Chain A
């Protein structure tokens, strides 16, 4: 095993423990950015003036706002000393002269209170000169409105393979977006300190980039700006790029007024101003042989990027790299493009395009299984990657056997076959309710596809008393990264976890950090923390060796004691060694650095090895669908998931369960609706509150929820043999959607192919039930010798979702 992956005896990693802040969370004493504002004297509140048109030239008169009692200042483009841009692509003016979407912030009012700032913003008059707007992907395609790259991932000759495939299906899949709905909305608090440093507290997943954007807006160097991310009340990708502009507004306000400025979006503002998961439109043609093996897939994915690029390019890239999910597709082509629409600028969201890519092939398999006359679970299993196979972008699928092991373990632990038989009996006896049990796999690539991001730093201090303070570049958003980093540091230094404390993430401690994203937080920062700790441990081992009359290589650190095997009758406390080291003038702090080795990705050709490894998992979900309403319950979910050897099992369990439910929300419940009419509200988000945008509540929790971590699964390429866990479990939720599909099918004749809206809301499910009930008997499985018939027969079975 690699040095990176190997664990010492009795490590602190691998011990289940609650979140390091749990006691503060539950008692309301954990501080979030805006809680600090409540404790700051003289703080001003910033409030946006939002566009009420989807696309228009705008002319602002801010003077009426200044008449409102309590209004201190209105920030406009004229106030920007640096670059008037909030993004890294230079396509996001912080103060626009052209409103690009309904809700776009045009100016910001600073008030003594939120009430004053709100009234001030309402007093600003905006003249609109309307411009044509594009709201839907279909409109963008029609108008040729695209932005950024349009890459293709290809292997073989899918057109030729499709021409000779025994069974060919074609269809369209519409995939809905998703609001992050982190419980803590975007928040920043900025002040200028006595030394002229701009200090920004920000709910951000990417403090270094927030720092860079603040600096370029202010026209100062990065070393004048410090960003601290205490903790976030949820991120999910929504705070990777989107916080920068808000931080810049707060910082600009603070520099101009000399007073602290807080900016906290209320829920409506957060929903109407910030980016979401990209909706996708996919056209596909898939070919199968008689045994149900996929012979070719060609698809064109169009994402809805919204008004600016933000992270749409890498999101699209990851989508193309995950169309295959866990299935071997010999001849393959996935084309991608990004629609430019007058909507919020869509952004990172847990899975980062991966879920949308996988959605395509899971939809294909779920839709065509009845037409092929093959049970969907069998169809999926038959197409799983086998050892020795590679992805369409040329990366060998290492540990493909683990995928099959997970699959069979899950079928066994979920009692799959017996329950399916019970379900068949239940369905036969219940004309108005149907149950189904579906199983789906996940294979998710781990590493940033932007290779440069795969680096991290840490700063570890050991004090004379033996206590340890850890800084690292990752941010805590609830995923338990800090808990894992405490466990890594305690393991590396052979200390009990109580000896280690973690300091909030800030850019003046560890510079040039990557976003805490792509599930990579623990892999990257864990590597860096471990590296820093090991430097210190090495120096302390030399000191201890002298005291123990032993060879430095023989010195061991465990449970806060330092000893040597050769002289095991003696040992010192960790603090005794630090004291001695100090007096011997030995450095007791270190910077750690980590970069992921072995990546080779050609973004132009979309070929190579973008990922360090794959995370695997599978889920079996049982649902019950009510034939009267289309509503459904998730009766039971079983998951087997691969987190390598877990760094922190309770944390990983939480990531798996939470990711799964969030994915189920995206696929079955959460629906973003925009005003697509030509009326005055065109482009307005209609679901702009918690009462209209519904995320999962207790009623969506699976009634029985069994999660098993794959055992003895050490990953050689990651810290202490672990694997990333943040994103992959979200995609286990396809099992819920596929179970709903199969339950709907049970309302119709055998062989009926079910098209299901995404999200599969009760309404969408009910409409699918109606279609199933209305369906006549369907021609099953065209014979191989009759290719042409199969082709024509299959066409109408899988027509457009729209």
Chain B
């Protein structure tokens, strides 16, 4: 096939004119579906949010909100997309649209279609149920209808101040039985299709199998391997990068497994962070702390651990956590697999030991995990921001003594790093004010933080120090250990 076909709002739309780099956003707008807006072109604002039918864990489909600006339209070849226009019309609005309008949830209206799509995804979420009051009481982030406000944290509005949007979300009921999008969930999501788009110098290929993918990366060392495109999409849109060949691997089944063994937990590199969170269902408390702070659902619905590891950014929020968990990286090539300690994986700023002929297949987390874990992210904004500093702790306390200490840091060096001097300062020592205070000073001198537009070097160092003090304050003694 040399052109992409996407089912948009229930209608198959052949897209003969699109290029390998064309975003889903631009393709939709060229179809006249201009409800989808470009607000930032880097997945921060959500004005381009649309719904994508993805596989749920029970063989059906779910409506997943994604940023259309980041996803190459070629990556959704054969898939089903719903835009704000497909949700409802002015004469017959969808419940989320009617609710938003009535609450005063739109002013200029430019962000509104994206909000409607993010809100619809949460409206249709299978697990959404009225809160019991006890578990969600007080934080204001869950509505009485079970609506999780985090579902909207990747959508920015400059006009309303958000209160009416929240009220609209919290006022939603449940889908009617006859709701076609609700019914659609009962059938399987579209299968991945092998895609070959473009000509020499600008191709997009989705290999049909892992073998084919491995041969491709062996034969095409300059190819860009893409999964969720939450980083690559930014390079395309903001930095004008174009790949001679982009190889999409996020639908390969071998990269989408999650297995729990006796000695380790293996997480497929191409599972999205949202999928991982759901499928781990609390098995890795540290990751449960990371995910809600990682960008936004619109990003987490596409972003993968493989992507975080592949780009090797020093501020990828999962990496400090994986370092603290002493994770290992499973690299696959046509010659077989090798396993590398994550601590040895990074070689420099956005460089790693991964060879160009290798794919990241999975991440292995050794079991059992440490008992005391915590993730501290320092950013200007609580939702939907990038870390200036991230600190992940994994400690075991045995009778008031630090039996093991693993600390991963982001944002303080060219790569994510382990805070080994601090770990040494804690190991074997009593978990008391004096030791922690001294270790916090050591932590404050780890890495080589820089000053930039996010934070000063001084503040970054101080935040490292604060993180350990705060951990100690929230976990004062072994006998009082509680999940953070």
Contact = CB atoms under 8 A, between A and B. Distances in A.
Nearest to A701: B162
Interface string B27-66: 0011011111111111011010000000000000000000
Interface stretch (B107-115, B281-289, B361-369, B404-412): B107-115
Nearest to B237: A266
A762 interface: yes
A31 interface: yes
B85 interface: yes
A703 interface: yes
Contact of B32 (A39, A633, A650, A658): A39
Interface in B303-353: none
Interface stretch (B210-218, B377-385, B414-422, B428-436): B377-385
Contacts of A766: 459, 462-463
A234 B29 contact: no
Contacts of A79: none
Given A236-B158, A691-B44, A183 B85 contact: no
Contact of A25 (B38, B44, B112, B466): B112
A235 B137 CA distance: 38
B394 interface: no
Contacts of A407: none
B116 A26 contact: yes
Interface string B82-104: 01110111100110111011111
A232 interface: yes
A694 B238 contact: no
B285 to A, nearest CB: 20
Given A267-B40, A673-B453, A763-B459, A183 B47 contact: yes
B181 interface: no
A654 B90 contact: no
Interface stretch (A277-285, A286-294, A445-453, A682-690): A682-690
Nearest to B386: A691
A1 interface: no
Interface residues of A, number: 81
Interface stretch (B149-157, B255-263, B441-449, B476-484): B149-157
If over half of B's interface residues share one DSSP class (helix, strand or loop), that class is named, otherwise mixed; here it is loop
A426 interface: no
Contacts of A236: 158
Nearest to B102: A18
A23 B101 contact: yes
Contacts of B473: 432, 628
Contacts of A32: 34, 37, 110
B158 A628 contact: no
A118 B240 contact: yes
A727 interface: no
A480 to B, nearest CB: 7
B42 A657 contact: no
A182 B85 CA distance: 22
Nearest to A687: B453
A101 B366 CA distance: 54
A697 interface: yes
Contacts of A690: 39-40, 42, 44-45, 156
A478 B159 contact: yes
Contacts of A651: 104
B41 A266 contact: yes
A781 B217 CA distance: 74
Interface in A490-515: none
B106 A699 contact: no
A658 B160 contact: yes
Nearest to A660: B161
A132 interface: no
Contacts, number: 255
Nearest to A119: B240
B90 A233 contact: no
Please indicate which of the listed interface residues B100, B164, B453, B463 has the most CB atoms of chain A within 10 Å of its own CB.
B453
Interface string A104-136: 000000000001001000100000000000000
If over half of A's interface residues share one DSSP class (helix, strand or loop), that class is named, otherwise mixed; here it is loop
Contacts of A701: 161-163, 166
Given A26-B106, A266-B38, A234 B140 contact: no
Contacts of B73: none
Nearest to B460: A763
A429 to B, nearest CB: 14
A547 B45 CA distance: 59
Contacts of B42: 267, 689-691
A631 interface: yes
A234 B244 CA distance: 38
A671 B159 contact: no
Interface string B266-280: 000000000000000
Contacts of B102: 18, 22
Interface string B372-394: 00000011111111100000000
A700 interface: yes
Interface in A642-676: 650-651, 653-654, 657-662, 669, 671, 673
B37 A233 contact: yes
B380 A18 contact: no
Contact of B156 (A633, A654, A658, A695): A695
A700 B381 contact: yes
Nearest to B99: A26
Contacts of A770: 462
B163 A28 contact: no
Contacts of B103: 18
A762 B380 contact: yes
Contact of B166 (A35, A689, A698): A698
Nearest to A16: B104
Interface string B19-32: 10000000001101
B109 A25 contact: yes
A629 B41 contact: no
Name the 8 nearest CB pairs between A and B, nearest first: A28-B35, A478-B108, A233-B110, A25-B109, A661-B161, A28-B84, A699-B382, A690-B44
11 contacts: A22-B102, A26-B84, A26-B98, A234-B108, A650-B104, A654-B104, A654-B159, A690-B44, A763-B455, A763-B456, A766-B462
Interface of A: 18-19, 21-32, 34-35, 38-39, 115, 118, 122, 180-184, 231-236, 266-268, 432, 477-480, 628-629, 631, 633, 650-651, 653-654, 657-662, 669, 671, 673, 686-687, 689-692, 694-705, 761-763, 766-767, 770
Interface of B: 19, 29-30, 32-42, 44-45, 47, 83-85, 87-90, 93-94, 96-98, 100-113, 116, 140, 149, 152-153, 156-164, 166, 234, 237-238, 240, 378-386, 452-456, 459, 462-463, 466-467, 469-470, 473
